């Protein structure tokens, strides 16, 4: 079942240690087949070097295991909430990458301070409100998903334009159109967090990028007239001979 998606999710998971986004087993990737209403996710607590594509676990949008020999990631309820509430996303990543966790620990957004951030995130990467004691005790992982959704609703943020979040005192979640795109966004978030940390130690001035620079860098990759890369609208005009 979903063998092609299992391979995609497996390969995306294997990118996490290669990109220095995880320590030990502290992370997971999932990917969804929207047509079938099923997603595939890493099994819980299994070392990356011991994983195989067939180890990936198939789960439905109620959070129930449909196929798999092992238990799915403990974060499966969070992924389930996000897939249900963000219907256009195709893959989700969770890590405990250290620079992002530093901002989550401080309960701080990762601000848009440079064009590196603006190329991927159309604005600050928000941090959620801390989960309450009741939320943690009753349905911790499911409530983690709910607090992420609430963060985007409360601040009127488009989850496609800002494909990532920090869960307060926990860590980052990112998403994308595919599992590998979600991994890409996770790496960008971590790099931006490190850059921002250093910038914020150098000055107390307001150094957020102006809206016009944010617009330019985000839209040249993601807008309707995007021109970055080889598959975008060609903007170079050659002189007539």
Rounded distance between C-alpha atoms, residue 144 and residue 92, angstroms: 14
Rounded distance between C-alpha atoms, residue 231 and residue 208, angstroms: 30
Q: Are 126 and 62 in contact, with CB atoms under 8 Å apart? A: no
Rounded distance between C-alpha atoms, residue 132 and residue 51, angstroms: 35
Q: Which of 48, 140, 197, 228 is catalytic?
A: 228
Using the structure block, give the residue that is written with the tokens 């099923």.
38
Beta-bridge mates of residue 93: 29, 174
Q: What is the DSSP string of 19-45?
A: TT--STT-EEEEEEETTTTEEEEPBTT
Q: Are 29 and 182 in contact, with CB atoms under 8 Å apart? A: yes
Q: Please confirm, yes or no, whether 119 is among the known catalytic residues.
A: yes
Write the CA distances from 32 to 36, 41, 52, 61, 204, integer angstroms. Answer: 9, 9, 18, 10, 42
Q: In what order do the strands lie in the sheet with 38-41?
A: 65-67, 57-60, 38-41, 27-33, 91-95, 171-176, 164-167
Rounded distance between C-alpha atoms, residue 7 and residue 107, angstroms: 36
Q: Which of 119, 140, 197, 215 is catalytic?
A: 119
Active site residues: 119, 228
């Amino acid at each position: 079942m979903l063998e092609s998606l299992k391979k995609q999710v497996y390969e995306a998971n294997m990118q996490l240690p290669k990109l220095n986004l995880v320590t030990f087993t502290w992370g997971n990737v999932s990917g969804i087949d929207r047509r079938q209403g099923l997603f595939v996710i890493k099994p819980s607590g299994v070392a990356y070097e011991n994983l195989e594509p067939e180890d990936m676990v198939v789960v439905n949008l109620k959070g129930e295991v449909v196929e798999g020999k092992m238990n799915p990631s403990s974060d499966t309820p969070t992924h389930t909430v996000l897939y249900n509430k963000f219907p256009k996303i195709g893959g989700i990543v969770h890590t405990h990458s250290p620079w992002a966790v530093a901002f989550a620990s401080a309960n701080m957004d990762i601000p848009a301070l440079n064009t590196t951030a603006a190329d991927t995130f159309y604005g600050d990467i928000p941090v959620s409100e801390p989960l309450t004691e009741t939320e943690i005790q009753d349905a911790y992982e499911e409530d983690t998903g709910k607090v992420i959704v609430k963060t985007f609703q409360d601040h009127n943020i488009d989850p496609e334009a800002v494909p990532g979040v920090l869960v307060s005192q926990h860590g980052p979640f990112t998403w994308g159109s595919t599992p590998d795109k979600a991994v890409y966004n996770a790496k960008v978030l971590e790099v931006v967090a490190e850059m921002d940390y250093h910038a914020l130690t150098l000055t107390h001035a307001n150094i957020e990028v102006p809206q016009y620079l944010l617009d330019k860098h985000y839209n040249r990759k993601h807008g309707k007239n995007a021109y970055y890369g080889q598959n975008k609208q060609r903007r170079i005009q050659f002189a007539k001979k």
